Copies of this chain bind each other. A is one copy, B any other.
Amino acid sequence: MNLTVSEENYIKAIFHLQQAEGNVSTNQLAASLHTKPASVTDMLKKLTHKSLLEYEPYQGVRLGKEGKKQALSIVRKHRLWEFFLVDKLQFGWDEVHDVAEELEHISSKKLVDKLDAYLGFPKFDPHGDPIPDSNGIMATIRQFNLIDVKPKVVVEVCSVGSQSAELLELLRHKNIGIGTELQIIRKFEFDHSVEISVKNKPTITISQQLAQALFVKLV
């Protein structure tokens, strides 16, 4: 099933809007895609014809089985590229979205799977959203990037960004591992470093790079 960039963007938008409730409305889609309702209706008909959607005129739309599969593939690519941009190319976590919007449409499955392996099969992207694996399965508990957590909050480390030797060494040195509880003390604007307290011991400071590699959940 080969989709155009435009078709992929519709599938992705429906996927994101569908999350909580059932059907997605034409107007919601038009707003989300910065297009007009009439254009949406056209595309819904086309994608329904391709068996990607379940759509009844005037009743909104939801993804069909094949549509879900396609959506997960696009989301997987988007989030893997975001991870790559932050972890390898030193982009800030807040400047990767637009580039990933372009990269997610590169079609090679082999590329995506090799990228995934190269990155160490990360489970969460730099915004804390789960990355579907090559079978479309992803974690359900939402995690946060440590750098996004507000001061005073207590969190528990769930996973780390990559399995690189350098990162693991640094974590051991700082006594941080999966399951470690820590409290955010304060954040410094200048270099985005974060002051934390691990297991109620004296505070330490960790760099922006390290904070971005830690995924946590609220406790």
Binds B, one of A64-72, A87-95, A169-177, A189-197: A87-95
* A102 contact from B88, B89, B99, B107, Cβ within 8 A: B107
A126 shortest CB reach to chain B, Å: 15
Tell me, yes or no, whether A210 is within 8 Å of chain B by CB: no
Interface size on A, residues (CB 8 A): 17
B residues less than 8 Å from A85 (CB atoms): 111
From A95, which residue of chain B is reached at the shortest CB distance?
B110
B residues less than 8 Å from A88 (CB atoms): 118
Task: Determine whether the beta carbon of A99 is less than 8 Å from that of B118.
Answer: no
> Roughly how many angstroms separate A143 CA and B150 CA in the complex, as a whole number?
53
* A108 contact from B102, B110, B111, B114, Cβ within 8 A: B102
A116 shortest CB reach to chain B, Å: 10
User: Can you list the 5 inter-chain pairs with the closest CB atoms, starting with the nearest?
Assistant: A89-B114, A99-B108, A102-B106, A99-B111, A89-B118
Spell out A's residues near B (CB within 8 Å): 85, 88-91, 98-99, 102-103, 106-108, 110-111, 114-115, 118
Known: A89-B118, A99-B111, A102-B106. 17 other contacts (CB 8 A): A85-B111, A88-B118, A89-B111, A89-B114, A89-B115, A90-B114, A90-B118, A91-B110, A91-B114, A98-B108, A99-B106, A99-B108, A99-B110, A102-B107, A102-B108, A103-B106, A106-B106
